[in-house]
A and B are shown apart, each in its own frame.
Chain A
Amino acid sequence: MSRENVLVSAAWSEENLQTPGVVFAEVDEDTTAYDGGHIPGAVRIDWKTELQDQVRRDFVDREGFEKLLSAKGISNDDTVVLYGGNNNWFAAYAYWYFKLYGHNDVKLLDGGRKKWELDGRPLDKEEVTRPATSYKAQEQDLSIRAFRDEVVDAIGNKNLVDVRSPDEFSGKLLAPAHLPQEQAQRAGHIPSAVNVPWSKAANEDGTFKSDDELREIYAEAGFDGSRKTIAYCRIGERSSHTWFALRELLGHEDVKNYDGSWTEYGSLVGVPIELGSGKEA
C-alpha cells in the first residue's frame, strides 16, 4: 500500500472532476455544508442517516449498502474519492466502511473540504444525480473492525491507540471541546492504551503529514510495529482517520478500528478503566 493508491491531492481532484469512472462523494454528519456548496459533481453521503442503522447501533447491512451505492450511482469498478468536513473524519470513516464492504478502489481527498476551501477551489450548488447502478457489496471484512470483547482481550498485548484529545484520554473531558460535556459513560481510557490524538497525523490545513513524520509520531508514543493494533476514539470516526494513517499510509497490516469506541467501552459494566495521562510520573 502506498500513499498514491489511497490519497489524492486537491489539485489532482480538480483536474479529474469530469473523468469517467471517478466519483466524488462528500461525507458528513451534518450535511448542511454540502447544501451550501459542494465539489462540482460530488454526490452526498449522510453519515448519520445513510451509513448507520436507524434503529440498532450498527451499520446498514450488506443489502442496505448495496441499495445505497446503487441509488447514488456508484459502480463496483468506480474510483470513489471521498472528502468531507471536520478534517475528513467522516470521509475517513466512510473510506473504512467502503473497505469493510469490499469496495476495490476508494481514495481520500487529502485535506478534505478544508484544504479545498482554503485553496479557494470551486464549489457549486448544482443538484447531482447519477444514473442508478446495481452495486454488489462483499460480506464485511472483519479483519479491519474490532468489537468490544477483543478490545478487552487486547489490553496489555496489542497496541491500543486512543486518538482522542489528551483531556478526553485523561478523563478531564468526555467529548471533544466543541461539544457539550454531559455524557452517560464513565471518563478515562482503556488500560495500556497509548494516546496519540488523531490531529497529530494532520497538518493545520487538514492534509496528512508525511510518512516519515507519521512514523516518528507513532514510534515516539510507544507504538510497537510488531504488534497488532486497535484504534479507538469516542465514536469511531476520528479513529478511522488514524486507522487510515497506520494501515493505508504506513502499511501496518493488522490494524482494526473499534467503532464502538469510548461511548461503548465507557458504558460497559465491570471493564477496567484507567485515569490520568497514562505516562509514568
Chain B
Amino acid sequence: MSNGCGAPAQGGSVDANTTETVLEGKVLSEGTPVGGAFVRLLDATGEFTAEVVSSPEGDFRFFAAPGAWTVRALHRTGNGQADVSATGPGVHAVEIAVA
C-alpha cells in the first residue's frame, strides 16, 4: 500500500541539522495561536505550492526548496500572510498574523 499525499499532522519538531529546507512557524491572532487555519505555501511568482492545516497550537511546516516564498493563512476569523526567504537547507522560522 502506498501512502497518499495528504498533509500530515502539524507540530512536533524536525532536526535542526536537517538537509531539507524547512519553513515552519505559527499562525497567530493578536498573539494567540490559531489552530485549524488553512496555510498555503506560494512560490516567488505567487503560484500555489502546498497547503496544510495548522495544529491546535497554530503550528505549520513545509518542506520546500531554497528561494523566496510566501505563506498565507485562511481562517473563518480572518486571513493573513508573510514572506520568508530560505537561503538554504535548515529550519526557517516565520509567523503569520491573521485578522
Q: Which residues of B contact A38 (CB under 8 A)?
A: none
Q: Is B65 an interface residue (CB 8 A)?
A: yes
Q: Which residues of B contact A204 (CB under 8 A)?
A: 40, 74
Interface size class of A (residues with CB under 8 A): 35 or more
State whether A235 touches B2 (Cβ < 8 A).
yes
Task: Convert A173-204 into 0s and 1s, putting 1 for each residue whose CB lies closer than 8 angstroms to a CB of B.
Answer: 10111111100000000000000010100001
Interface size class of B (residues with CB under 8 A): 20 to 34
Q: Which residues of A contact B6 (CB under 8 A)?
A: 28-30, 47, 85-86, 89-90, 237
Complex-state Cα separation, A234 to B8, whole angstroms = 16
Pick from B1, B36, B63: contact of A117, CB under 8 Å? B36
Complex-state Cα separation, A181 to B7, whole angstroms = 13
Task: Convert B37-75 into 0s and 1s, putting 1 for each residue whose CB lies closer than 8 angstroms to a CB of A.
Answer: 010110100011111110000000111110000000011
Q: Is A48 an interface residue (CB 8 A)?
A: yes
Q: Is A57 an interface residue (CB 8 A)?
A: yes
State whether B47 touches A237 (Cβ < 8 A).
no
Complex-state Cα separation, A253 to B63, whole angstroms = 37
State whether A181 touches B2 (Cβ < 8 A).
no
State whether A235 touches B76 (Cβ < 8 A).
no
Q: Is B4 an interface residue (CB 8 A)?
A: yes
Complex-state Cα separation, A176 to B5, whole angstroms = 7
State whether A86 touches B51 (Cβ < 8 A).
yes
Q: Which residue of A lies closest to B20 (CB)?
A: A181
Q: Which of A29, A114, A176, A204 has the most CB of B within 10 A?
A: A176
Complex-state Cα separation, A263 to B5, whole angstroms = 11
Complex-state Cα separation, A86 to B61, whole angstroms = 15
Q: Which residues of A contact B3 (CB under 8 A)?
A: 29, 48, 235
Q: Is B9 an interface residue (CB 8 A)?
A: yes
User: Can you pick out 8 interface pairs between chain A and chain B where the beta carbons lie within 8 Å of each other?
Assistant: A52-B1, A90-B6, A117-B76, A118-B38, A118-B75, A178-B50, A180-B20, A235-B2
The residues of B with any CB-CB pair to A shorter than 8 Å are: 1-9, 20, 36, 38, 40-41, 43, 47-53, 61-65, 74-76
The residues of A with any CB-CB pair to B shorter than 8 Å are: 28-30, 32-33, 47-48, 52-55, 57, 85-87, 89-90, 114, 117-120, 165-167, 172-173, 175-181, 197, 199, 204-205, 233-235, 237-238, 263
